[in-house]
Amino acid sequence: MSLPEKAFPVSWDQFHRDARALAWRLSGLKRDFRAIVCITRGGLVPAAIISRELNIRLIETVCIASYHDYANQGEMMMLKGITEALMSEDGDGVLVVDDLTDTGKTAREVRNLLPKAHFACVYAKPQGVPMIDTFVTEVSQDTWIYFPWDMGFTYQEPIAKGHMG
């Protein structure tokens, strides 16, 4: 397994700030969202923050798994769908939340179910951007984001370590 060239570690504090920034952007849309559908597992944390900030009480999950390594995303598998009540009106008034759009495959699967929903994520890579309506930070396609729930506290090598003479 080869690791990606660029690493982007995100602390809990930074993720919280970025998720709140996403909530600010969404609040500026002047739309009333009746519910959030979060894409699990990554969408759970930003959905909790956004639901608080925008006072959205109805939260649903859609569970899609893609089996992948650091370089390749595999087949998509729906583990849990969305309730019929939220699928009415093709998802109009529904906010779909995820932590990251990478290739856009997961968002595309959910967009097929909720074509009128508003899609938001905290981080986006170029291949996934066309599937998302609102995001906070774009990173390059070859960057691997290390989310705080995936990390422990360990020493990090300086970026320039490999370039020192």
61 belongs to an annotated ligand binding site? no
Of 102, 133, 142, 150, the active-site residue reads 102
Residue 143 assigned ligand-binding role = no
Does residue 101 have a known ligand-binding role?
A: yes
Q: Which of 98, 133, 142, 150 is catalytic?
A: 98
Sheet holding 59-68, edge to edge: 73-80, 59-68, 35-40, 94-101, 118-124, 134-138
| 102 annotated active-site | yes
* 103 labelled ligand-binding: yes
- 83 known ligand binder: no
150 among the known binding-site residues? Answer: no
138 contacts 126 by C-beta, under 8 angstroms: yes
List, in sequence order, every residue forming a beta bridge with 121; answer none if it has no partner.
98, 135
Q: Is 99 a catalytic residue?
A: yes
Catalytic residue among 13, 18, 92, 99: 99
Strand positions, DSSP E, the chain: 6-9, 35-40, 59-68, 73-80, 94-101, 118-124, 134-138, 143-146
- How many CB atoms within 10 Å of residue 39? 25
Q: Say if residues 145 and 100 touch (Cβ distance below 8 Å).
A: yes
- Answer yes or no: is 145 a known binding residue: yes
Question: Is 142 part of any known ligand binding site?
Answer: no
Residue ranges at the known binding site for GMP: 102-106, 144-145
Residue ranges at the known binding site for 5-phospho-alpha-D-ribose 1-diphosphate: 41-42, 98-106
Please list the active-site residues: 98-99, 102
